[in-house]
Structure 1
Amino acid sequence: MTRSARRTRRMLSVAGLGTAALLTLSACGSSDSDSGSSSDSSAPASADKKLSGTVTVFAAASLKESFTTLGEQFEKEHPGTKVTFNFGGSDTLAAGITGGAPADVFAAASPKTMKTVTDAGDASDPATFVRNQLEIATLPGNPDKVASLKDLTKSDLKVVLCDKTVPCGAAAQKALDASKLKLTPVSYEQDVKSALTKVELKEADAAVVYKTDVNAAGDKVEGVDFPESADAINDYPIAQLKDAPNAAGAKAFIELVKSADGQKALTGAGFLKP
């Protein structure tokens, strides 16, 4: 083969390699572009996904005022959603959930009542979002001059307690036991709001409730602090339920409760930070 022929063959070979390289680079560029385009289009779709439907929240009675406010805020932030509440004694709510009542979120007034739900497999990973402390609620002006937990043991005083199966009742009993005091109330109520109402209606002289309930009642009652309450502070856990009909809404509502705005609303109502 002549030198000229060899040179021509070598030039054709180099040209072929260059063309192959260009084709390879072009294919890679196209692949990268397609990949980037796919990624970009999927991200906004996920980010733009809007919440809708009803979010059903089972919550301890003492959360009524603050959760109602947060529910209204949630609906404003997520048009097309509706937050419905079932407020009551935590033990009653827990029994309803384990019995199959449809709900998305459970907020209890004690870890014990939350454990009833988690042990049944109806929720997992509860988180404490606030704490609450007891206070004595008396008639306006405190006409009976109640100044301590011991004063509630006076025979001529009509006192109301929450039932011992309810977190506020269990906490009150714990405070009484720590003080070695015995108290026979005129009635045991199924939730803290019912106990407070007895005083508001003047059907009782005093009740042991939460500070948040005294705050919510305004001038309808007067609050009296007692040192033993520091030994009976309740943690409040919240959890998304396993078979939540609106799982996305449940997650978002819990995030609001735990957010800075949520905590501000709760501490403003008298709750303690976790």
Structure 2
Amino acid sequence: MKTLSARRTRRTLHLAGVAAAALLALSACSSLSSSDDSSSSGSGSTASASSSPKLSGTVTVFAAASLKESFTALGKEFEKEHPGTKVTFSFGGSDSLAASITGGAPADVFAAASAKTMQIVTDAGDASGTPATFVRNQLEIATLPGNPDKISSLKDLTTSGLKVVLCDKEVPCGAAAQKALEASGLTLTPASYEQDVKSALTKVELKEADAAVVYRTDVKAAGDKVEGVEFPESSDAINDYPIALLKDAPNAGAAQAFIELVRSAEGQQVLSESGFLKP
């Protein structure tokens, strides 16, 4: 009987040992699985965090001449925020820039001074997506410092003997000036038509003209080189400025990021300080 009892005891102890070993094995597997899951999760988080590609390379922006000061400042800010990038600009009359784009000139972004000139690019199928208006601009008369000719209205520009320059009629600032003149029932024969707003302003700065109809932003940028005269008819000829990513943009990712900067609160602050109106 003692022998049978001893055998039963040893068998019981053996089974208990096997069960304990099995539990230890299961616990180890569970810990390993948990560790693997944690590692996998951590790896996924790392991959997700690094999924946004770092911006690099050159962003080529074609922009209306009136955007020169503000966009140059924003370009420097963009390069600072994204080391390894460079923003290059081609400033000029919006109609000429649009013609260059539809003619195949490589560019990433187009910022025009009117919806009409942007339409040239969209009609040609060269814009990616729908252009967005990011600012507006209003006309102002630029006179010589001190306003020696005592110009106080748009009508004063029609005074005989006064040398006045306008932007070409195909350029947004020229089209806006014509609209304001027509709304006032005035006829003005300028001394010259200039290819863009900066060229018109330069004529006054160099004292080659007595006055020019330009944008208020250009008058502000010129500082004490000219004196600005506001006129009420300008409110009937305010230009919307649209911006668009171009369809064949060589650096689309960085170009889109630049557009986002322009439209951000930071970008809008820079543009407002330059005299642009909110869209």
TM-based fold match above 0.5: yes
TM-score, length-scaled by structure 1: 0.88
Equivalent-residue separation in structure 2 for 1:242 and 1:128 (angstroms): 18
Normalised by the size of structure 2, how large is the TM-score? 0.87
Deviation at 1:259, TM superposition (A): 1.0
Question: 1:97 matched to which residue of 2?
Answer: 101
- In structure 1, the residue matched to 2:229 is 224
- 2:41 matches 1:36: yes
| 1:114 has 2:115 as partner | no
Matched, 1:233 2:238: yes
The structure 1 residue matched to 2:163, chosen from 158, 162, 166, is 158
Equivalence for 2:275: 270
Q: Percent identity?
A: 78
How far off its partner does 1:260 sit? 1.2
Give deviations 1:232-254, integer Å, cap 9, x for gaps: 00000001111111111101111
CA-based RMSD of the aligned residues comes to: 2.4
Call closer, same or farther: CA 1:157–1:100 in 2, change over 3 Å: same
Is 1:83 the equivalent of 2:100?
no
Task: Report the secondary structure of 1:156's partner residue.
Answer: coil
Shift of 1:31: 8.2
Cα distance, 1:39 vs. partner?
2.6
Alpha-carbon shift at residue 41 of structure 1 (Å)? 2.5
Amino acid at match of 1:184: T
1:206 corresponding residue in structure 2: 211
Aligned match of 2:249? 244
Cα distance in structure 1, aligned partners of 2:83 and 2:251: 15
Report the AA paired with residue 64 of structure 1: K
Tell me how many residue pairs correspond in the alignment.
262
What SS is found at the alignment partner of 2:130? coil
- Report SS of the residue matched to 1:160: strand
Could you tell me how far apart the structure 1 residues matched to 2:65 and 2:40 are? 52
Distance in 1, Cα, partners of 2:202 & 2:80: 31
1:71 aligned to 2:57? Answer: no
Shift of 1:169: 0.3
Letter of the structure 1 residue corresponding to residue 251 of structure 2: N
Q: Deviations over 1:12-52 (max 9, x none)?
A: xxx9xx9xx99x989986885576345313212124x3211
Amino acid corresponding to residue 91 of structure 1 in structure 2: D
Residues 42-53 of structure 1: pairs in structure 2 closer than 5 A = 42-47=47-52, 49-53=53-57
| Match in the other structure for 1:186 | 191
Paired with 1:28 and 1:172, the residues of 2 have a C-alpha distance of 74
Query: Which of 26-35 and 263-272 deviates more?
Result: 26-35
Gaps of at least 5 residues in structure 1 are 1-14
Q: Which residue of 1 aligns with 2:154?
A: 149
Structure 2 residue 65 is the aligned partner of structure 1 residue 55: no
**Does residue 131 of the first structure (1) align with residue 152 of the second (2)?**
no
Tell me the CA shift for residue 112 of structure 1.
0.6
Task: Quote the Cα distance in structure 2 between the aligned partners of 1:173 and 1:253.
Answer: 33
Please identify, of 206-215 and 24-33, the stretch whose mean Cα deviation from structure 2 is larger: 24-33
> Are 2:266 and 1:258 aligned?
no
Question: Alpha-carbon deviation of 1:155?
Answer: 1.5
Q: SS where residue 125 of structure 1 aligns?
A: strand
Distance in 1 (CA, whole Å) between partners of 2:225 and 2:141 is 13
Q: Which has the larger radius of gyration?
A: 2
One-letter code of the match for 2:64?
A: A
Is 1:170 matched with 2:162? no
CA distance in 2, matches of 1:35, 1:181: 75
Q: What is the rounded CA distance, in whole Å, between the counterparts of 1:221 and 1:173 in structure 2?
A: 22
Residue 11 of structure 1 aligns with which residue? Answer: none
**Distance in 1 of aligned mates of 2:185 and 2:60:** 41
